[in-house]
Amino acid sequence: MLATLPPLPGKFGFALDTGPRPVLTGTSADIRVERSAGGQLILRPDGHPLGRRITDLAADIRALVDWFIASGGVADGRGRMRALIARGVVPPGCDTEPAPPLPLPAPGLYPEGALVALAFGQIQAETLAALAALGHEIRPTPWRMLMLVGATALPDLPSLITDPADPLLRVTACTGAPGCPQAGGETRALARALAPHLPDGTSLHLSGCTKGCARPGPSDLTLVATAQGYDLVHGGRAQDTPSLTGLSPKAILDHLKALHAPSL
């Protein structure tokens, strides 16, 4: 069916999330197939809280894709559903709420095995080889975590996140400089340095530019690298208007410490 769709931006994606409750809500996608609280399949454009009931999955997806293109969702071969919805453009018939999403799983031991997380979704070849040597099936998940099926203990390997309180679990960062030519600065080393200073429960997105590839949605704090330093957006996305601009890494750290400070 996907082969019959008109050309779409390279990052445009679909989430088939049809269990009783969604588990991919925080995972990047543009068109989501989910269930309502009553179990009805719905098609939900990413960024909109409601979806429309599905009568014919292939035809309904085609109609939503056609609407996305006709509504100006694609410019110069790029575009995401969330950005279009944020402009106040909403497809007709979206009136059904999805079932409440399941909370994101945390690293730890489960009846199925051991769940370990990877900072920024990356793993070193040596760590992967050491994991494989443990002899368990390694099952990828959509949450930048790996399930070691049947494991009864968490592996003690460098760079794996096994502590559910690790602040790196609340940090997202794209490739940044020098890996991405569009980046205005470095991202992941700074993200690692800032993580221990995040206030409890605060999420941080460090983006190499305003495209925000690593996280199309909002975060509590979003830092965007520019040639002049880092711009800071509170409660928004990389594309949103920053409240502070041109920050140095030290100025960012000072800002985070001020967030911790008790109010007088």
- Using CB under 6 A, list all residues that contact ligand SF4: 174-176, 180, 182-183, 207-209, 211-213
Q: Which is nearer to ligand SF4, 2 or 75 (CB)?
A: 75
From the CB of 208, what's the least distance to ligand SF4, in Å?
A: 3
Beta bridge partners of 145: 117
Strand 41-45's sheet: what is its strand order? 14-16, 31-35, 41-45, 52-53
CA-based nearest residue to 162, from 120, 114, 112: 114
Q: Give helix then strand counts, H and E, for the chain.
A: 5, 14
From the CB of 177, what's the least distance to ligand SF4, in Å?
A: 7
Q: Which is nearer to ligand SF4, 86 or 130 (CB)?
A: 86
Q: Which is nearer to ligand SF4, 106 or 177 (CB)?
A: 177
CA distance 10 to 215: 16
Around 130, how many Cα atoms within 13 Å sit in the side-chain half-sphere?
11
Q: Which is nearer to ligand SF4, 108 or 246 (CB)?
A: 246
From the CB of 168, what's the least distance to ligand SF4, in Å?
A: 18
From the CB of 76, what's the least distance to ligand SF4, in Å?
A: 14
Q: Which amino acid appears at position 128 of this protein?
A: L
